[in-house]
C-alpha cells in the first residue's frame, strides 16, 4: 500500500526557516518524483515545484526560486522541502504528492496521485 506521511505542524517567526519532511512507503522511491503544493488559509492550490526521486533534479516555480530547496534521502525514501526567510504570507498547509506519469498513445501525462496529509506552517511574530 502506497503511503505518504508528512511531518507535524510548525510555528515559525518571520525570517526563520522551516523544513517539512515527506516519508514514503509501499513503492520504489527512485522510480517517481515528488511534487510540493501549498494552500494558504481559505485559498486554492499553488504548485511549488518537484524533485526527482531518481537523481535529485529539481524544478521550482519561479516564485520560490532562491528561497526553497527540495531534497531527498533515498536511504529512507523521504523527501524534504525547506523554505527560508519566512513571511506571514507563507502561512499555509504544505502538501507533498507523488508525481506519476501516465503514458497513453505516445504521450506521458503527469499528475499527483498519492498525497500526504499536509503540514500546517504558521508564520507569526
Partner 1 sequence: DIQMTQSPSSLSASIGDRVTITCRASKSIDRFLNWYHQRPGEAPKLLIHAASTLQTGVPSRFSGSGSGTDFTLTISSLQPEDSAVFYCQQSFGTPYTFGQGTKLEIE
Window contacting partner 1 (CB under 8 A); options: 13-21, 24-32, 79-87, 107-115: 107-115
- Using the rule CB under 8 A, is 122 a contact of partner 1? no
107 touches partner 1 by CB under 8 A:
yes
Closest CA to 81 of 1, 15, 4, 21: 21
Number of residues that bind partner 1 (CB under 8 A): 26
DSSP assignment letter at 104? E
**Is 112 an interacting residue with respect to partner 1 (CB under 8 A)?**
yes
Interface with partner 1 includes 1 (CB under 8 A)? Answer: no
Of the candidates 11, 6, 16, the one whose C-alpha atom is nearest the C-alpha of residue 95 is 6
For residue 26, give every residue at least 6 positions away whose Cβ sits within 8 Å of its Cβ, in sequence order, or none: 1, 2, 3
Taking residues 58 to 87 in sequence order and writing x for each that binds partner 1 by CB under 8 A, - otherwise, the string is -x-xxx------------------------
Of 24, 116, 121, 123, the one binding partner 1 by CB under 8 A = 116
CA nearest to 98, candidates 81, 119, 112, 109: 112
Q: What is the distance between the alpha carbons of residues 98 and 73, in angstroms, rounded to a whole number?
A: 15
- Residues forming contacts to partner 1 in the complex (CB under 8 A) are 35, 37, 44-47, 49-50, 59, 61-63, 95, 97, 102, 104, 107, 109-113, 115-118
Amino acid at each position: 500500500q502506497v503511503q505518504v506521511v508528512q511531518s507535524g505542524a510548525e510555528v515559525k517567526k518571520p525570517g526563520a526557516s522551516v523544513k517539512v519532511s515527506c516519508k514514503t512507503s509501499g513503492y520504489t522511491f527512485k522510480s517517481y518524483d515528488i511534487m510540493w503544493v501549498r494552500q494558504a488559509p481559505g485559498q486554492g492550490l499553488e504548485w511549488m515545484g518537484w524533485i526527482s526521486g531518481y537523481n535529485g533534479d529539481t524544478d521550482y516555480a519561479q516564485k520560490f526560486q532562491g528561497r526553497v530547496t527540495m531534497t531527498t534521502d533515498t536511504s529512507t525514501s523521504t523527501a524534504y522541502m525547506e523554505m527560508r526567510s519566512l513571511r506571514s504570507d507563507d502561512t499555509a498547509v504544505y502538501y507533498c504528492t507523488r508525481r506519476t506519469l501516465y503514458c497513453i498513445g505516445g504521450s506521458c501525462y503527469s499528475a499527483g496521485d498519492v498525497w500526504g496529509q499536509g503540514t500546517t506552517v504558521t508564520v507569526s511574530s
